[in-house]
């Protein structure tokens, strides 16, 4: 199984400042079809997960452009250019290249300091 490792697990941020979350996979996430199936989810307190980014860098409809996904192979990053209060929550990466199982990272808790 592919293991997904996120860092940091806790990220105190200042409003208006940038934030960055790392996600590393134990194997390359490049699929034989040429795509890389790395997804980012946001889970606000008390809510279900919401997809932000799919296939590394494709932003979902309605997701603010301050969220950017990047990376390749085994190393991926979610960046928030300027953190807003509504960004508080836990962020998860998910690999869907080699399944089953689909595997999530442990989650990164973003909070305002």
Which residues of the shown chain bind another protein in the complex (CB under 8 A)? 37, 39, 41, 43, 48-51, 54-55, 60, 92, 94, 96, 99-107
* Pair 92, 40: CB distance under 8 Å: yes
| CA dist., res. 39 & res. 54, Å (int) | 4
The answer, yes or no, to whether the previous bond of 8 is cis (omega within 30 of 0) is: yes
Nearer to another protein, 82 or 88 (CB): 88
Nearer to another protein, 27 or 106 (CB): 106
Nearer to another protein, 69 or 105 (CB): 105
Q: CB 37 → another protein: shortest distance, Å?
A: 6
- State the pairing for strand pair 58-59/38-43: unpaired
């Amino acid at each position: 199984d592919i293991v997904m490792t996120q860092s940091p697990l806790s990220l105190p941020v200042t409003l208006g400042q940038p934030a960055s979350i790392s996600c590393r996979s134990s194997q390359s996430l490049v699929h034989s079809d040429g795509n890389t199936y790395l997804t980012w989810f946001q889970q606000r307190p008390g809510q279900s997960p919401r997809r932000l980014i799919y296939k590394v860098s494709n932003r979902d409809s309605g997701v603010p452009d301050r969220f950017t996904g990047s990376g390749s192979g085994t190393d991926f990053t979610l960046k928030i250019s300027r953190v807003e209060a509504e960004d508080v929550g836990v962020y998860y990466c998910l690999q869907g290249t080699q399944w089953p199982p689909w595997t999530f990272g442990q989650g990164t808790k973003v909070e305002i300091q």
